[in-house]
Structure 1
């Protein structure tokens, strides 16, 4: 099996694991807090940003080199499958169209600002481990 095929399989395996994690967290938070705001998608995107930052801080990403197998599995696959821009976008549009523009704006600002803060915090902490 060539390295290209192995890389695709690692990303696919990680994506399956991450997608199942997203499904579990989203459903748990929807049951816990209701569906008036997309708390599950918000939580996975924020926690995924933090985890990605931690892994970047711990592992680094050497410029000009191919990503490691672990990076492909964990960051590209698992965290790529765990976090979601499509659900975030659809849920934000649904809030807006349902007459909740303040919630839609809060979702966009909160996800983007807190996501950036969490990836930065994760990177900072990861570098210190």
Structure 2
């Protein structure tokens, strides 16, 4: 149990650090007018979740799920930040932008997860 907890903690620290750096990078590239960092990590994290589900299963490596899926991707993806970003856009009066942001975040992230599953399954077929 303690080793699993340490895996989750290490993965979470690395994932949160990667999320922060992604946010900084996206703000530098795209500006502060839209939460590009949060959108990016949610889509990328969903894709990677799909890749990891298939990869870990195919290599009988599910023992790394606490480190990679729960820890790293749990720290990397940001649905709590997503919710705050939505509220911020909404409260500043950008309601169409807030709704569009929510729709794109959910739909593209789910699509990215399926893309990760399909791509990785094709590699192991």
TM-score by length of 1: 0.89
- 1:60 deviates by 3.0
Q: Is the 8 A contact 1:50 1:122 kept in 2?
A: yes
1:78 matched to 2:72? The reply is: yes
Q: Is the CA contact (8 Å cut-off) linking 1:57 and 1:125 kept in structure 2?
A: no
| Aligned counterpart for 2:109 among listed residues 95, 102, 115 | 115
What residue in structure 1 maps to residue 38 of structure 2?
41
Provide the TM-score with structure 2 as the length reference: 0.92
Moved over 6 A (4+): none
1:88-103 maps to which residues of 2 (within 5 A)? 88-103=82-97
Q: CA deviation at 1:57?
A: 2.0
Q: Which runs of 5+ in 1 are unaligned?
A: 62-66
Cα deviation, residue 103, structure 1: 1.2
User: Number of paired residues?
Assistant: 121
Per residue, is there more helix in 1 or in 2? 2
Across the aligned residues of Structure 1 and Structure 2, the Cα RMSD in angstroms comes to 1.4
Give the Cα–Cα distance (whole angstroms) in 1 for the partners of residues 48 and 84 of structure 2: 24
> Unaligned 5+ residue runs, structure 2?
none
Residue number in structure 2 paired with 1:64: none
